[in-house]
Structure 1
Amino acid sequence: MNAVEIEEAVSELAERPFDREAFPFQFLEAFGNKPATIKRLRDGHSNGSDVGGVLQRNNIHIAVAESGTVTATLAALKASPATTKAKAQFILATDGDLFEAEDIESGETVACTFTEFPEYFGFFLPLAGISTVKQVRDSAFDIRATSRLNRLYVELLKDNPAWGKADRRPDMNHFMARLIFCFFAEDTDIFNGTGLFTATVDQMSEKDASNTHEVIAEIFRAMNTPIKDRQTANIRSWANVFPYVNGGLFSGSLEVPRFSRIARSYLLHIGSLKWTQINPDIFGSMIQAVADDEERGALGMHYTSRPNILKVLNPLFLDSLREQLEEAGGNGRKLLNLRNRMARIRVFDPACGSGNFLVIAYKEMREIEAEINRRRDEVGRLSDIPLTNFRGIELRDFPAEVARLALIIAEFQCDTLYRGQKLALAEFLPLNNENWITCGNALRLDWLSICPPTGTGVKLVGDDLFHTPLDQARIDFDNEGGETYICGNPPYLGSTWQDKEQKAELEAIFGHRTKNWKSLDYVAGWFMKAADYAIATKAKTAFVSTNSVCQGEQVPVLWPLVFKTNSKIAFAHTSFKWANLASHNAGVTVAIIGLEIAPSNARQLYSESDDGTSIVKDVQNINAYLVSGPDLIVEKVNRTTSDRALMLWGNKPTDDGNFFLDHDGANALCSDHPEARVFIRPYYGSAEFIRGIQRYCLWIEDGDATRAAQIPEIANRIANIRTFRANSIAAETRPAAEFPHRFRQIQGVGERMALIVPRVSSERRPYLPIGLLPERSIVADSSFALYDAPLWNMALIASRLHLIWIATVCGKLKTDFRYSNTLGWNTFPVPTLTDKNKDDLNRCAEDILLAREAHFPATIADLYDPEKMPADLLEAHERNDEVLERIYIGRRFRNDTERLEKLFELYTKMTASAGGAKKRKVGAV
């Protein structure tokens, strides 16, 4: 469940008649507990309460109190030995009238009436495995409002199915945007009287909802009619009290969908919420999910938190503004210069969604401007920062409309905060006619025509969502000599998931530049467009992106093209999790990349230490791998230059399955023909090694082919392979019909042992899978093998250092690690190892193998599940990392950024000492 679904379930629970017996279980169900879990608690099998309540281990102890004894019951829960023994985080007591709870870990408490407890649903979200509790509490109203609006939206579509079809969906979405404005306006005195909209609908519409749509349509008509024209327009007297809004929000069709009794009830309930608490930073992202069929299933999950957005905006330009403010102190002239500078700054998000980056940028700038006005004794002064300087492109119409509405709300809230409500109200209505949120395809549109260099005319204005033309001359004047900052969180979409249209968009951008564009993530299109745009505008850019654009095969494709425009990486935030509000959600791994034409020598590299501490370093250069160091591309090398073992591809059978036997099949063949045993060997590919699957293969040397063919079953299998290969449509396969007794491609076989490294493995695992195979094992082509290699080679591959190197230079297949012998193993930089170093690493590898063996028959998949990894195995890996990292720098690395910096430093030296071996500069394609 996600936060919105939980809030809805909790609210429904509060609306039901209170059931003393059922409440504890209903409460736990609302937070996502499964029926089987609830059944065990009901049966008493897992209920450890010692006060007649319900106790869920590691979570909560609940008791239903007698009337008037809630506080005493809560105290009894806190004193309960069972609460302590079960390590319950929460205690909760209620009698159906009062509701009290405490978070034992933090000491925070809740005390309210029973009907009010849904307002505190964020307090209990750890029960659902949601860790982003502070973000939820900060946005509790937005989640509740989204939940209610979703109910209304779905209910309206039931009675108005035509409004859900493609041709009417824009009308439905526009209607929802109008409602949101009305709810906000009636709670903030924008309308003359608190609750005016909701009260009017309640009073003037029939209880059966038969005329609700007519009442709302008349209110909308009034808000679209200037006061001087009201009499002529025959506006009904009860609607005439609404102000003239204009701004395009209520222009166009005023048709309203028909309401059922339930829909009318939902609307009135929504109106009763406290809309002054709306947070336009994230509300837009939530409400857009209401109107999007694909996103509604993940309602409330897709939003970008303010702290994450500031990771983009602060180093992009906000830090510069704050530094200038600090430097100005109380100097009136310097403060005025800063204010004039901010008035000309344009913030451009070419994938703006519902506008959260633009809204936060606007609010942060207004805060700085307010401080300037305070220092200059000009509190209450009209803002010099126009909304039209916050420009966006959004593919879908409703998010684009919500983005503009969110900016309008943000402006009003800032005016109220910094100028006072009286001035804010006096100047808010009517809304102006300016709209700079363009609905269109950002990869198809010319950004220079939407957000042009200063002093030039706009060729393409917004799509007129609010039906309002713009006076371009004034906007050019406002921005003469100003700065432009591009920001946002464009769609990622790896190459595998792109549809034909998205592929065509990337081809239009990259096709004339490189033939290798098909491997690029969709977000790469935004980076290239931004770099091209900066040539004419000197704009600075910062995007949130999946870190895959700075890894593997995408690096030599994308970044030479970007750098060719003279854009460089001015700052970057290395990989971190971009979590959302879904329970148990790990989030996608992203990076933040800032681009600038010829940035200064001082560039900032942001990262997080292994213990979660934020780190920022000033560096001379940031390369395409987001590492401090020279611009270079790691190239494939056919052989390692050190004394490490040669890593070879596994062996390729091309046999239509005829070489292989399972455990029973191998036993049966040996039972019937004992002489066949010499031709049967254990067989390991990625799946067999990771999942512990027992599999065998026939392995017949050329000199043994005649003897093997005397065994009827083997002879039959060889004949099948000959036929299969001879009839293959692949020209390279047909010649192999001449030797059907052996694998088509044989890379190597170990005399004593082999280390196996799967070519693809899950990114969830904290270490790359590597293992020691039994003697005579055959390694499949889904893996790599190091034959008869010393165990210290395993210690290298099993390290955190090696995993980070592979993730960076080899990249991923979909979301899984993709291993390469020539790009990953042969290029892996290792300091010169002494005999003692090798002995220590041998011992580390042995300890890892022994720790695995202690948990037999657990598989690699079982052992390296990050949530279930045995403590002794984790300790063995930690010890291996400790030993190896001390060889590199004499201590543990603080984080992966530091690991990569050292590896790239050694790689640069290694390639230089190899006579300038393959080390391509990023400048040339």
Structure 2
Amino acid sequence: MRLSWNEIRARAAAFATEWRTAHYERGQTQTFYNEFFEIFGTPRKRVAAFEEPVKKLGNKQGFIDLFWKGVLLVEHKSLGRPLAPAKTQALDYFPGLKDAELPRYILLSDFQTFELYDLETGTELKFTLADLPRHVEAFGFIMGVQKRVFKDQDPVNIIASELMGRLHDALKSSGYDGHDLERLLVRLVFCLFADDTGIFDIRDMFEDFIKDRTREDGSDLGLFLSRLFDVLNTAPEKRQKSLDEDLACFPYINGDLFAERLNFPDFNATMRNILLEACAFNWNAISPAIFGALFQSVMLPKERRKQGAHYTTERNILKVIQPLFLDNLRAEFSRAQTLRGPARKRALESLHEKLGQLTFFDPACGCGNFLIIAYRELRQLELEILRAQHPIGQRELDVAILSKLDVDQFYGIEISEFPARIAEIALWMMDHIMNNSLSVEFGESFLRIPLKKSPHILFADALETDWEKFLPPEKCSYVLGNPPFSGFVLRDEKTRKQMQILQSLGASGSRLDYVTAWFLKAGKYVQTGQAQIAFVATNSITQGEQVSQFWPALFDRYRLEISFAHRTFAWGSDARGVAHVHVVIIGLTRRDAEQPVKRLFSYEDINGDPGESLHSALSPYLFDAGALGDRHLVVQRSTTPLTGLPAPRVGSKPVDGGHYIIDTAERAKLVARHPDLSPFIRPYIGGQEFLNGGDRWILCLQKAKPEQIRRWPEIIKRIEAVRKFRTTEGGNLSKSLAETPLAFHVTVIPESPFLAIPEVSSERREYVPFGWLEPPVVPSN
């Protein structure tokens, strides 16, 4: 039976370790290549010969170092000899070979470096012996597997998500929707990943199963997938002895991933081709953190906005987890490495034990990106600790007992089922990737299949869930994530009711951003235990009126302090429809556990990298508060300017459904029919017109007499349309205005020149462009 890629990578790692000091060509070459072929379970003597005689260019006699007719020609040199002449030497043998003997591949090596040339595709690969485990699949031809060439994979995450988005759209348009579709996509993503990364023993067995066993019209594909899912959920000893051989070779996965019976979909030829295209993609190159972007790519923009879903790049996730815990853990590792003897051993063992006891909770986890990247970084640190504990040459170990980290240390709450299930599967995938890294490092294959431990991902509304029952706070180490961002204006009825929780949690304002509910609930949660908090948030919670309404609850009621913060920067996403939003990151710790030094990250360019400064205290406005008498000082809202200058105010808000707002052509027609209407039609200027030009007009009928209005039938129709809009389509505010349809919600009709400030400008402007306007102009809000 062909070896799995996991076993091959482990063998390659052991080979690289064994031959790391080899340097002399003549005495070691044949042993080197005999053992090289054994990496793939293929005895060299079955396929290739050493010192094959052949006539070289110019009819001179030559001897090929290693030759596999029709497949591979090897030229080998002693360490330090240049390989460029070796390639010329290899090509000089070609005139003396028959057409059927011409090799597809040329391999050049000096023991410590490799150069592999694929003459059919024109590709080349160069790497060191130490990197052989990472590139071992390039030699799949030794065991009869040709390496596929993948193009246009930059960035691979986007392409993968688009592929699955196309399959989602095709299935949904056919009527296969809801829970079954979401569950099916998650399972397919797992199978695609498993096919390329060694979870399935034979590379491409899922792709071959689809390609070879299902009809081209796709009519039986759903049935075959349903059978496969049953097999993946059944232990080998419980499978029927008469089970189809192609199905029987798939492993037992467990973990409840395939437990539920789904209504299987009816595929067609187009859907089958999309799935095969996804199979041909190299999922080995994917970070499991892609699946958040995958989910976003198949959501409608309207749903994204409503849920406040702004999916995160790895770069931005690291901005949260590095100052929250990773930097401290790495500093502890660095200190341990400076020690000697038993003290060093104890320090490394203590840190390793500590990693296995940490727990991480994301109460708005989405597709699990924060948890996934946190797990990856911790497993990478664990690998470095193991490397320090067990140097090369001292590794007679059982790899399966080395890792103390597992996915059951990670907890998340997610309001939508599809991303909750993706979070589970992506953590398992990251676990597999890191197990592969452990296997490569120690030269022994390590798989956690069938799955035994699971991440704790709860499908629920976090604001309506008792966090303490889900994860007791004394067992929680860190609360982190990227809660929903939606502001006051975008709230629906459910969100408005949920935000009433703010009063009971200590906030004083009614217009706070939705994200503040997560901060306050987290503040209450960490009152027992020692968990630290770090959330991404809209930058508005560190500006203006929200500061005085929100931060005193964190400081005074929950006795929290800012341990680190990122000042305003532009949010980025790996998903289709990138979220355009400016954010901050706030790290919080209990006052009785705070560190004396606070870290502040500031951005000269909001799209660039930050600079770091250290402080004794940070203000809620995110500046140095060390010199303030009260580091918790906030600016209270005032209804009158402190300077005595005129108060700024919002402009007119008609709440009219657009019926009072007209363009220049409409105005001209109305004035032509009713000249006496002209004084009641005034220029209407908002930020768009003020900054970019253009004309709008607004009907200001507040001072029009009833007998005048009766002469304007077109205007009467508009008044009735406004009344209907306010009655049927608006909220409670609109309904309260329905009986006075001539009045605006906010009426601002200046009688003298006024200073106009656009509510929205552009981040590219150095200054916000103010300007003077004068009657008859009416400013919008």
TM over 0.5: yes
State the match for 2:622 in structure 1.
Answer: 626
Task: Give the Cα–Cα distance (whole angstroms) in 2 for the partners of residues 231 and 652 of structure 1.
Answer: 75
* 2:278 counterpart residue number: 270
The aligned residue for residue 158 of structure 2 is 143
2:492 equivalent in structure 1: 499
Counterpart Cα distance in 1 of 2:780 and 2:216:
68
Relative to 1, partners in 2 of residues 1:772 and 1:182: Cα closer, same or farther, differing over 3 Å? closer
- Distance in 1, matches of 2:459 and 2:699, equals 59
One-letter code aligned to 1:359: I
Equivalent of residue 368 in structure 1, options 374, 381, 389: 381
Q: Per-residue displacement from partner, 1:549-587 (whole Å, max 9, x unpaired)?
A: 222222222222222211122111111111335799682
Separation of aligned partners in 1, 2:437 and 2:762? 46
Structure 1 residue 360: Cα displacement? 0.6
Tell me the amino acid that sits aligned with residue 395 of structure 1: I
For the residue of structure 1 that corresponds to 2:478, the secondary structure is strand
Task: For 1:312 and 1:188, locate their aligned partners in 2 and report how far apart those are by CA, in whole Å.
Answer: 29
Q: Which whole-Å CA distance do the structure 2 matches of 1:496 and 1:171 have between them?
A: 34
- SS of the aligned residue for 1:431 comes to coil
Deviations 1:463-500 (A, max 9, x none): xxxxxxxxxxxxxxxx6xxx611111111111111111
**Shift in alpha-carbon separation, 1:221–1:588, aligned structure 2, 3 A:** same
Counterpart for residue 115 of structure 2: none
Work out whether residues 218 and 269 of structure 2, in 8 Å CA contact, stay in contact via their aligned partners in 1.
Answer: yes
Aligned to 1:402: 422
SS in 2 for 1:176: helix
1:326/1:413 CA distance change after superposition, 3 Å? same
Tell me the equivalent position of 1:287: 294
1:242 to 247, 250, 269: 250
Residue 452 (str. 1) matches residue 472 (str. 2): yes
CA–CA separation in structure 2 for the residues paired with 1:653 and 1:441: 34
State the alpha-carbon separation in 2 of the partners of residues 201 and 145 from structure 1.
Answer: 19
Deviation at 1:610, TM superposition (A): 4.5
Counting only pairs closer than 5 Å after superposition, residues 472-487 of structure 1 correspond to structure 2 as 484-487=477-480
Aligned pair in 2 of structure 1 residues 748, 358: CA closer, same or farther (>3 Å)? closer
Question: What do residues 401-448 of structure 1 show as CA deviations (whole Å, max 9, x unaligned)?
Answer: 111111111111111112339987543211114341111111111111
Tell me by how many angstroms 1:294 deviates: 5.5
| Structure 1 residue 217: Cα displacement | 2.3
Distance in 2 of aligned mates of 1:219 and 1:745: 66
Residues 150, 282 of structure 2: 8 Å contact kept = no
Secondary structure of 1:760's aligned partner: coil
For residues 616-655 of structure 1, the aligned pairs below 5 Å read 616-629=612-625, 630-636=631-637, 646=646
Q: Name 2:437's counterpart in structure 1.
A: 417
Could you tell me which of 202, 213, 217 is aligned with 1:193? 202
Deviation at 1:623, TM superposition (A): 2.2
1:567 to 2:560 alignment: yes
| Paired residue type of 1:770 | F
C-alpha separation between the residues in 2 aligned to 1:295 and 1:646? 40
Higher deviation after alignment, 514-523 or 534-543: 514-523
1:851 alignment partner in structure 2: none
Distance 1:424 1:258, change over 3 A: farther
Deviations 1:29-85 (A, max 9, x none): xxxxxxxxxxxxxxxxxxxxxxxxxxxxxxxxxxxxxxxxxxxxxxxxxxxxxxxxx
**How far did 1:148 drift?**
2.3
Report Cα offsets for 1:120-172 as digits up to 9, x if no partner.
546xxxxxxxxxxxxxx3x41x333222222323333344x2x31xxxx2222
> Of residues 596, 610, 616 in structure 2, which corresponds to 1:614?
610
Report the CA distance between 1:312 and its aligned residue: 0.5
Residue among 350, 355, 375 paired with 1:342: 355
Aligned-residue offset at 1:212: 2.3
Matches within 5 A, 1:52-451: 121=152, 137=154, 139-140=155-156, 142-159=157-174, 161=175, 163-164=176-177, 169-231=178-240, 234-253=242-261, 255-282=263-290, 284-289=291-296, 292=299, 303-330=311-338, 331-377=344-390, 380=399, 382-420=402-440, 426-451=446-471
**Number of the residue aligned with 2:110:** none
Offset, 1:336: 1.4
Aligned to 2:527: 535
- Counterpart residue identity of residue 448, structure 1: E
Count of residue pairs the alignment pairs up:
579
Q: Distance in 1 between matches of 2:589 and 2:372?
A: 23
The residue number in structure 1 matching 2:118 is none
Partner of 2:756: 757
Provide the residue aligned with 2:483 in structure 1: 490
Superposed CA RMSD in Å reads: 4.8
Task: Confirm or deny: 8 A CA contact 1:494 1:521 kept in the other structure.
Answer: yes
- Distance in structure 1 (CA, Å) of the matches to 2:272 and 2:577: 35
Query: Normalising by the residue count of structure 1, what TM-score does the alignment of the two structures yield?
Result: 0.55
Residue 531 (structure 2) pairs with residue 521 (structure 1):
no
Output the CA distance in 1 between the equivalents of 2:303 and 2:149.
22
Of stretches 545-554 and 344-353 in structure 1, the one that deviates more from structure 2 is: 545-554
Q: Which one is further off, 186-195 or 389-398? A: 186-195
CA distance in 2, matches of 1:264, 1:653: 53
Which residue identity lines up with residue 628 of structure 1 in the other structure? Answer: D
Further displaced range: 535-544 or 259-268: 259-268
Report the CA distance between 1:603 and its aligned residue. Answer: 1.1
Alignment map for 1:721-740 (pairs within 5 Å): none
* Equivalent residues of 2:320, 2:535 under 8 A apart: yes
Note closer, same or farther for the CA distance 1:207–1:758 as it changes in structure 2 (3 Å cut). closer
Query: Are the aligned partners of 1:286 and 1:302 in contact in 2 as well (CA < 8 Å)?
Result: no
Letter in 2 for 1:263: M
Displacement of 1:546 after TM fit?
A: 1.2
Unaligned runs of 5+ in 2: 1-120, 124-146, 339-343, 626-630, 720-732, 738-745
Q: 1:442-841 residue pairs with structure 2 within 5 A?
A: 442-454=462-474, 484-507=477-500, 509-512=501-504, 516-563=508-555, 564-580=557-573, 587-598=580-591, 599-610=594-605, 612=608, 614-629=610-625, 630-636=631-637, 646=646, 691=693, 756-758=755-757, 760-762=759-761, 766=765, 767-772=767-772
Report if aligned partners of 1:416, 1:424 keep a CA contact under 8 Å in 2. Answer: no
How far off its partner does 1:353 sit? 1.1
Letter in 2 for 1:145: A
**Distance (whole Å) between structure 1 residues aligned to residue 361 and residue 349 of structure 2:** 24
1:358 aligned partner, one-letter code: L
**Alignment check: 8 A CA contact 1:280 1:359 kept:** yes
Gaps of 5+ in 1: 1-96, 100-115, 123-136, 455-478, 674-678, 699-708, 734-743, 784-925
